[in-house]
Amino acid sequence: MKKYSFILKDLDCADCANKIQNKLSENENYKNVVVNFNTLKLSFESELNDVKPDIVKTISELEPEVEVLDIDEKVKEGKNYNLIRLIVGIIVMVLALVVPMPGYLNLIFTILAYVILLYRTAKNAIKLLKKKTIDENFLITVSCIGAYFINKQSEGLMVIFLYEIGKLLEEKAINNTRKSIANLMDIKPEYANLKHENHEHKVKPEEVNIGDIIVVKQGEKIPLDGIVTFGNASLNTASLTGESVLREVKENDSVISGSINEKGLIEIKVTEKYENSTVRKILDLVENATDKKAKTETFVNKASRIYTPIVIVLAILVGIFSPILFKIPFEEGIYRALIFLVVSCPCAIVISVPLSYFTGIGKASKNGILIKGSNYLDSLKNINQIVFDKTGTLTKGEFGVEKIETYSNKYTEEQILEYSALGEANSNHPIGMAILKKYGKTVNKENIKDFEEVSGKGITYKVENKTIKIGNSDFVETKKENEIGTVIYVKVNEEVAGYLVLNDILKPESKEVIKKLKSLKILTKMFTGDNKEIGTKIGKELELDEVRTDMLPQDKYNELEKLINPNSKGKVAFVGDGINDSPVLAISDVGISMGGIGASSAIEASDVVIMTDDLNKIETAIEISKRTNKIIKQNLLFALIIKVLVLILSTFGVSEMWEAVFADVGVTLITIFNTLRILK
> Which residues belong to the active site?
389
Quote the distance between the C-alpha of residue 229 and its chain's center.
33
In angstroms, the CA 220 to CA 466 distance is 56
Choice among 336-350, 512-526, 533-547, 551-565 with the minimum mean pLDDT: 336-350
Q: What is the mean pLDDT of residues 196-207?
A: 88
pLDDT of residue 517: 96
Q: What is the mean pLDDT of residues 147-170?
A: 83
Region for 32 from its dihedrals, namely left if φ exceeds 0, alpha if ψ lies in -120 to 50, beta otherwise:
left
Fill in the amino acid letter for 261: N
pLDDT cut 70: percent of the chain above it = 89
Does residue 524 register a pLDDT over 70?
A: yes
pLDDT band at 326 (very low <50, low <70, confident <90, very high): confident
DSSP secondary structure string for all residues of 287-352? HHGGGS--HHHHHHHHHHHHHHHHHHHHHHHHHHHHHHHHT--HHHHHHHHHHHHHHT--HHHHHH
pLDDT of residue 672: 84
The two beta strands, 546-548 and 590-594, are unpaired
Fill in the amino acid letter for 477: E
- Assign 3-class secondary structure to 411-428: CCHHHHHHHHHHHCCCCC
pLDDT digit string, tens, across residues 205-222: 989 999 999 999 999 999
pLDDT of residue 415: 93
Does residue 421 register a pLDDT over 90?
A: yes
Q: Report the half-sphere exposure of 63 (CA within 13 A, side-chain side).
A: 24
Q: Smallest Cα–Cα separation from 592: which of 567, 618, 616, 612?
A: 618
pLDDT digit string, tens, across residues 169-181: 777 766 766 665 5
Length of the chain: 680
Buried-exposed string 554-589: b where 16+ CB fall within 10 A, e elsewhere: eebbeebeebeeeeeeebbbbbbbbbbbbbbbebbb
* CB-CB contact of 86 with 165 (8 Å): yes
Does residue 490 register a pLDDT over 60?
A: yes
pLDDT of residue 126: 85
Q: Smallest Cα–Cα separation from 14: which of 290, 315, 398?
A: 290
Domains of the chain are 2-70 (3.30.70.100), 192-223+225-271 (2.70.150.10), 357-395+507-627 (3.40.50.1000), 397-505 (3.40.1110.10)
* CB-CB contact of 147 with 319 (8 Å): no
79-82 contact pairs (CB < 8 A, 24+): 82/120, 82/164, 82/168
Cα angle 570, 575, 580; round to 5: 135
pLDDT band at 186 (very low <50, low <70, confident <90, very high): low
pLDDT digit string, tens, across residues 577-624: 755 677 888 889 999 988 765 456 656 768 898 887 789 999 999 999
| Residue 566 DSSP SS3 | coil
In angstroms, the CA 54 to CA 46 distance is 12
For residue 522, what are the β-bridge partners?
none
Q: Report the half-sphere exposure of 93 (CA within 13 A, side-chain side).
A: 22
Q: What is the mean pLDDT of residues 498-514?
A: 92
Does residue 184 register a pLDDT over 60?
A: no
In angstroms, the CA 374 to CA 396 distance is 30
- Assign 3-class secondary structure to 432-496: HHHHHHHHCCCCCHHHCEEEEEECCCEEEEEECCEEEEEECHHHHCCCCCCCCCEEEEEEECCEE
Q: What is the 8-class DSSP label of residue 577?
A: -
Does residue 514 register a pLDDT over 90?
A: yes
pLDDT of residue 475: 92
Q: Report the half-sphere exposure of 629 (CA within 13 A, side-chain side).
A: 18
Phi and psi torsions of 328, nearest 5°: -115, 160
pLDDT of residue 34: 86
Host H or E run for residue 639: helix 616-651
Q: How many CB atoms lie within 10 A of CB 620?
A: 17
* CB-CB contact of 255 with 225 (8 Å): yes
pLDDT of residue 131: 66
Cα dihedral across residues 340, 341, 342, 344: positive or negative: positive
Does residue 303 register a pLDDT over 90?
A: no
Q: What is the mean pLDDT of residues 132-140?
A: 76
pLDDT band at 467 (very low <50, low <70, confident <90, very high): very high
Does residue 196 register a pLDDT over 90?
A: no
